[in-house]
Amino acid sequence: MFKAFLIKYAEIGIKGKNRHIFEEVLCRQMRHALAEVEGEFSVTREMGRIYVRTEGAFDYDGAVEALKRVFGIAGICPVVIVDDTGFEDLAKAVVDYVKEVYKDQERTFKVCARRAKKTYPMSSMEMNSELGGRILEACPNMKVDVHEPDLFLNVEVRQNIYIYSETIPGPGGMPVGTNGQAMLLLSGGIDSPVAGYMIAKRGVKIDAVYFHAPPYTSERAKQKVVDLAKLVARYSGPIRLHVVNFTEIQLYIYEKCPHDELTIIMRRYMMKLAEMFARQDGCLGLITGESIGQVASQTMHSLAVTNEVCTMPVFRPLIGFDKQEIVDVSEKIGTYETSVLPYEDCCTIFVAKHPVTKPNLNIIRRSETHLADKIDEMMDTAFRTAELIEIS
């Protein structure tokens, strides 16, 4: 029955004269998402509205699912479009719509007619009452409630006439590509894919870096990260994933530094390297899945010491989330099942039994002086030899 969708968008409505840029990016992202779906779709902007129209048969559920992943969409309204062939035909189409969509359900409703085409021979008020009357006659279970109806039956007269009442919630946020680019530190865990999702939701294009430590971390652990990047990319669009061989650096830190400081020093080098890739890719910040107090390396003291090596802003969208709240988002976006697959993402020999929870920056810096001989060269090698995987 539905051959089109009216797309409602959220915050991008309030961007003043930049609005058309946001709308264009949104249309582009919608086309991109629908390219995967069976059917012919056209996405158009018309008088401050965005429509998806279809030609011939199409995968309705697939189209809705694809649109539900496009940031910037607040709501997806399936629309019936009819030609303007006189009021009697319209009234019949509206009654058919109500019968079809609501079957014999008991609902209160209100008709909201709008005329963009002012030459239409009836006023909106007349249309409201006339159409309301026809629905009451044809559907005995429906009742009018003009104050708090269960459903608003929208009838918009334009070149054609649009009938719709249902709104499927979209993901909200802003279209990816309207807010610069950032580098996600993506591990195989639960948190970082969620962090990437949340920043992409604000319109930021995402690139990613994964620190791999073969043979201590397996090929399957790497594949898991690639799979997670693909799942995030369903929302964020293409991701350039840099896979860095971190083994030498980790072993060197292990050899030279106190073991209770390993994690914190390792994290400082991860951030430094991530920033090198970020700069190369034109990113404006880093993204991590850290949350205050979750583990020893995420106490306020540890975060301060880790952050100290960065010159770019580090975005930590999960900083105030409890683990369960993060799990809830990961389930909602579909990364949870992959995240909990059992492959190690960080070699156990590199984890101290009693890591420092209140590292002191001066002490950490002093420990790092033991790395002075080779670390710059190792960083350079890790940067130059990283593998680039284009996730689309």
Using CB under 6 A as the binding rule, whether residue 33 contacts ligand ATP is answered as no
Length of the chain: 392
Chain position carrying tokens 């006023």: 123
Using CB under 6 A as the binding rule, whether residue 136 contacts ligand ATP is answered as no
Question: Do 217 and 370 meet the contact criterion of CB atoms below 8 Å apart?
Answer: no
Tally of CA atoms within 13 A in the half-sphere of 140 that contains its CB: 0
Minimum distance, C-beta of residue 190 to Mg ion, in the bound complex (Å): 8
Per-residue binder mask for ligand ATP (CB under 6 A), 323-362, x = binder: ----------------------xx----------------
Q: How far, in Å, CA of 154 to CA of 109, rounded?
A: 10
**Is 128 or 187 the residue whose CB approaches Mg ion more closely?**
187
Q: Which two three-digit tokens encode residue 191? A: 């948190």
Question: Do 319 and 291 meet the contact criterion of CB atoms below 8 Å apart?
Answer: yes
Residue from 71, 210, 336, 350 binding ligand ATP (CB under 6 A): 210
**Is 23 or 191 the residue whose CB approaches Mg ion more closely?**
191
Minimum distance, C-beta of residue 186 to ligand ATP, in the bound complex (Å): 5
Using CB under 5 A as the binding rule, whether residue 189 contacts Mg ion is answered as yes
Q: Give the range of 11-19, 131-139, 174-182, 184-192 binding ligand ATP by CB under 6 A.
A: 184-192
Using CB under 5 A as the binding rule, whether residue 193 contacts Mg ion is answered as no
Question: Do 198 and 160 meet the contact criterion of CB atoms below 8 Å apart?
Answer: no
Residues 6+ apart with CB under 8 A from 207: 181, 182, 183, 184, 239, 240, 241, 242, 277, 278, 281, 283
Phi, psi torsion values for 286, nearest 5 degrees: -110, 155
Q: How far, in Å, CA of 236 to CA of 206, rounded?
A: 7
Using CB under 6 A as the binding rule, whether residue 173 contacts ligand ATP is answered as no
Q: How far, in Å, CA of 68 to CA of 170, rounded?
A: 5
Taking CB within 5 to 8 Å according to partner kind, which of Mg ion, ligand ATP, none is near residue 210? ligand ATP
Taking CB within 5 to 8 Å according to partner kind, which of ligand ATP, Mg ion, none is near residue 350? none
Taking CB within 5 to 8 Å according to partner kind, which of Mg ion, ligand ATP, none is near residue 207? none
Minimum distance, C-beta of residue 345 to Mg ion, in the bound complex (Å): 5
Which has the closest alpha carbon to 151: 88, 96, 106, 100? Answer: 106
Using CB under 6 A as the binding rule, whether residue 391 contacts ligand ATP is answered as no
Q: For residues 270-289, which are near ligand ATP according to CB under 6 A?
A: 288-289
Q: Give the range of 39-47, 161-169, 208-216, 230-238 binding ligand ATP by CB under 6 A.
A: 208-216
Using CB under 6 A as the binding rule, whether residue 192 contacts ligand ATP is answered as yes
Phi, psi torsion values for 154, nearest 5 degrees: -90, 130
Instruction: Tell me, rounded to whole angstroms, the distance of Cα 123 from its chain centroid.
Output: 42
Q: Helices 300-307 and 361-368: crossing angle, nearest 10°?
A: 50
Using CB under 6 A as the binding rule, whether residue 297 contacts ligand ATP is answered as yes
Residue from 29, 54, 165, 187 binding Mg ion (CB under 5 A): 187
**Is 103 or 354 the residue whose CB approaches ligand ATP more closely?**
354
Residue from 6, 155, 163, 186 binding ligand ATP (CB under 6 A): 186
Residue from 187, 299, 330, 367 binding ligand ATP (CB under 6 A): 187
Alpha-carbon distance values, 162 to 42, 121, 147, 156, 363 (Å):
17, 17, 23, 5, 68
Residue-by-residue DSSP string for 233-274 = HHHH--EEEEEEE-HHHHHHHHHHS-GGGHHHHHHHHHHHHH
The answer to the question of whether 105 is labelled as a binding residue is no
Q: Give the range of 28-36, 38-46, 57-65, 190-198 binding ligand ATP by CB under 6 A.
A: 190-198
Extract the runs of DSSP E, i.e. beta strands, from 23-72: 40-46, 49-55
Minimum distance, C-beta of residue 263 to ligand ATP, in the bound complex (Å): 7
**Is 138 or 327 the residue whose CB approaches ligand ATP more closely?**
327
Residues annotated in a binding site: 185-186, 210-211, 267, 289, 298
Residues lying near ligand ATP in the complex (CB under 6 A): 185-187, 189-192, 209-211, 288-290, 294-295, 297-298, 345-346
Residues lying near Mg ion in the complex (CB under 5 A): 187, 189
